[in-house]
A = this chain, B = another copy of it.
Amino acid sequence: MILQRSYPVEPWSVSETTLDLSLLAQSESLFALSNGHIGLRGNLDEGEPYGIPGTYLNGFYEKRPLPYAEAAYGFPETDQTLINVTDGKLIRLLVDDAPLDVRYGDLHDHHRRLDLRTGLLERTVDWTSTAQTRVRIHSRRLVSFSQRAIAAVEYVVEPVERAARITLQSELVANEQQPRLSRDPRVAAVLEHPLEAVTHDRDDFSIVLLHRTRASKLLMGAGMGHIVEAPGRTETEVVVSQDWARLTIACTLQPGEQLRVVKLIGYGWSSLRSETAVRDQVAGALSGARLTGWDGLVREQRAYLDEFWDTADVAVDGNPELQQAVRFGLFHVLQSGARTERRAIPSKGLTGPGYDGHTFWDTEMFVLPLLTYTYPKAAADALRWRHSTLDRARRRATELHLAGAAFPWRTIRGDECSGYWPAGTAAFHVNAGIAAAVVRYASATGDTGFEQEVGLELLVEIARLFASLGHYDRNGGWHIDGVTGPDEYSAIADDNLYTNLMASRALVAAAEMSQRHPAIASGLDVTPEEVSDWRKAAAAVSVPYDDVLGVHQQSEGFTRHAEWDFVASRDTYPLLLHAPYFDLYRKQVVKQADLMLAMHWCGDHFTAEQKAHNVDYYERRTVRDSSLSACTQAVLAAEVGHLDLAYDYAYEAALIDLHDLQKNTRDGLHMASLAGAWLALVAGFGGFRDHGGMPSFDPALPEGLTRMRFSIRWQNLRLTVDVHPDEVTYAIDANARSGLLLRHAGEEITVTAGAPITRPLRKPTPLLQRPMQPLGRAPISAHRATGSVPEE
């Protein structure tokens, strides 16, 4: 059966043409607006019906105890959970005496559209109340990129056919009623009534409510101000109480007359500053926004996005659905990281409560590559946030009897919040991912200040961690035992290949950067002996290989383990909901790209033949129960010449949320997969790699894509790569003052301003046939994607 798409294919927007209440929560995530600091789910203006009401401030969390049936040393005791803060986006409407509620009366038209170039969420409603009064509403909403503390709503209502008494209530509501979320452990726990009222204020221009969290003792302010335009007399009333505030505007409108209200919403929070300071901060932000005005905010938003798209856009010809999805993903990744400014980028951005609002390794390994090459400032900010948590990571390392710093598997503030250590604390590769992100950002930007202030110290502490984590065997081989790699279905393994290679590179990077900044290194007590120890361990790292099968082992002994019975487990994906960890861990079943991820980011360690054989072996055992997998499988499938398979994976990575492939888009978007779609295209079909600090490309398009054009920033240059089926053109901006050395299909070429270089493409010939996936886990075909969702 071919289902009708929920969201029509458009190049620069995502639209919802009817209101399907069963998709409400999913749409709230898709239509979420954020600047990285404030996040507003795409809840309806009037607040109800909702899937999950959501207003978030980055880093604003409540603490709660982590329970254990059998606690043990080093188990984290406190969780941090992103909470739904005071909702400022609420605008309720009374039409005559009927409240606007799309579940009652007649909804003639309901249209929403997220415009990826303006950054606005627009909504049109044509509704007749049960009392037969008809109104049209047009609202637009933004979370300002240019004014970090500000969101705004323009709300216009107009009676149709006959006059109506219109009562508009604009509100701030703290401690909103929340739905009971699912029992799935991956979904956030509901925290009911997380906010304690501190004080509330109003002046002529604004209303501010101050609240504090009970346990984490964070202080927040939410404020609103209004600009009202009405044709005649209006009655206005303001009520402010502890947990809510309401501005009421009542008027009578004739058909064709409009009431227009611009609502400015301001937020601020702090763990340190006083009540007065936070109140003033919110009120001040509102004053600034009032000065800018709605049109000004809209202009600033467009300008900000124009600059972003100028570098970040990936033009994909031949598959409009993929084109839309990739831009949708880029827009949301930007939203998640744009103005975080020393806060984390959560795995779901600020689009929903999933994973408690935690940040994982996804940020450094999937989101930051995209931001590094398109919007490097945000990548630097995210790493500066990591750096700001170094003391907590050092304490954690000490607690674990390790040296250096052990960054958390999941966190908001920097403390380990993982309540299941085999898939948390044991995943030390998160640290190697941070190191890789530091190295990548530093080589791509040449930002020496960053290296000196942030990068070197991160690398040194991570190198110390791994040096203390590894050990030498009696033959001089260096091992990291008992850790969990990216594949969470093979936890607590010896010599996870990904971890080992990434750790060895982190050690070398720390050594190299220490030697580049000897004075700072010396200030960090780095000695030549320590540097030499790092290099020695890195050189001796164990890389498990199965001689008989001729493939690398994901971890020591992996290929000796039992095979998973995919026939028996058909239709029981994700496996973790149907099988015990015990059974998953001991068998050759892979949740997500692990060895393949190593072959992407440490690709220069492997020969082409090894890659082909490894892809063939692990494709057959990878069930892709994680949203972090498809994009990496796309990159490797492309590299070994399975372009069609890569195309399918790229499509799946990009469409993860628009098609709700994981059935949990309701809880928030999958930022890593959305960023991974960029990787699938740019590293997959563009063949982009950054091994050794030099950009290299080896493009090849799959059947079905007729052109792909993308840009990356490298050392203040913007390189544009325009890939056609048979050739590729490399160009840098006309105003560039230096050339750019890059590698095309192994050949070094220098691109200079005004002199694009065109090269023919290699035609990749795969060494092996396209591999099968586990039963029931072949990817969706990208070719079917022409305006319809896949068959079900």
Contact = CB atoms under 8 A, between A and B. Distances in A.
Interface in A422-439: 422-426
Contact of A557 (B400, B491, B557, B579): B557
Contacts of A67: 67-69
A583 B420 contact: no
B580 A70 contact: no
A474 interface: yes
A69 B66 contact: yes
A556 B185 CA distance: 33
A422 to B, nearest CB: 7
Interface residues of A, number: 52
Nearest to A428: B582
Contacts of A75: 69
B548 A474 contact: yes
B479 A420 contact: no
A562 interface: yes
Contact of A580 (B420, B425, B491, B586): B425
Contacts of A576: 72-73
A672 to B, nearest CB: 19
Nearest to A577: B73
A580 B72 CA distance: 7
A419 B492 contact: no
Contact of A71 (B185, B474, B562, B582): B185
A578 interface: yes
A252 to B, nearest CB: 56
Nearest to A542: B560
B69 A560 contact: no
Contacts of A70: 185, 418-420, 423-424
Given A68-B67, A69-B420, A72-B580, A482 B557 contact: no
Contacts of A87: none
A421 interface: yes
Contacts of A494: 557, 560-561, 586
B482 A421 contact: no
A180 interface: no
A313 interface: no
Interface string A359-402: 00000000000000000000000000000000000000001110
A48 to B, nearest CB: 31
A471 interface: yes
A473 interface: yes
B400 A583 contact: yes
Interface in A478-500: 479, 481-483, 491-492, 494
A74 interface: yes
Nearest to A417: B69
Nearest to A494: B557
A585 interface: yes
A79 interface: yes
A560 B557 CA distance: 13
Contacts of A401: 568, 579-580, 583
Contacts of A399: 580
A651 to B, nearest CB: 30
A538 B66 CA distance: 43
B73 A580 contact: yes
A601 interface: no
A309 interface: no
A581 interface: yes
Contacts of A426: 582
A65 B8 CA distance: 47
Contacts of A483: 586
Interface in A550-589: 556-557, 560-562, 568, 576-583, 585-587
Interface string A421-461: 11111100000000000000000000000000000000000
Nearest to A481: B586
A578 B482 contact: no
A792 to B, nearest CB: 25
A685 to B, nearest CB: 37
A585 B473 CA distance: 17
B562 A471 contact: yes
A231 B471 CA distance: 81
Contact of A185 (B72, B79, B421, B582): B72
A483 to B, nearest CB: 8
Interface in A569-621: 576-583, 585-587
B481 A72 contact: no
Given A79-B69, A586-B481, A421 B560 contact: no
A481 B73 contact: no
Nearest to A76: B69
Given A560-B479, A585-B482, A586-B494, A579 B69 contact: no
Residue of A69, A481, A577 contacting most chain B CB atoms (<10 Å): A69
Contacts of A419: 68-70
Contacts of A425: 580, 582
A482 B400 contact: no
B548 A580 contact: no
A569 to B, nearest CB: 9
A583 B483 CA distance: 10
Interface in A732-776: none
- 10 closest cross-chain pairs (CB), A and B: A69-B419, A482-B586, A67-B67, A74-B580, A471-B562, A481-B586, A70-B420, A66-B69, A70-B419, A71-B185
Interface of A: 66-75, 79, 185, 399-401, 418-426, 471, 473-474, 479, 481-483, 491-492, 494, 548, 556-557, 560-562, 568, 576-583, 585-587
29 contacts: A67-B68, A68-B185, A69-B418, A69-B419, A70-B418, A71-B185, A72-B576, A72-B580, A72-B581, A73-B576, A73-B578, A73-B580, A74-B580, A74-B582, A400-B580, A400-B582, A401-B580, A425-B580, A426-B582, A471-B561, A474-B548, A479-B560, A481-B562, A481-B586, A482-B583, A482-B585, A492-B582, A492-B586, A494-B560
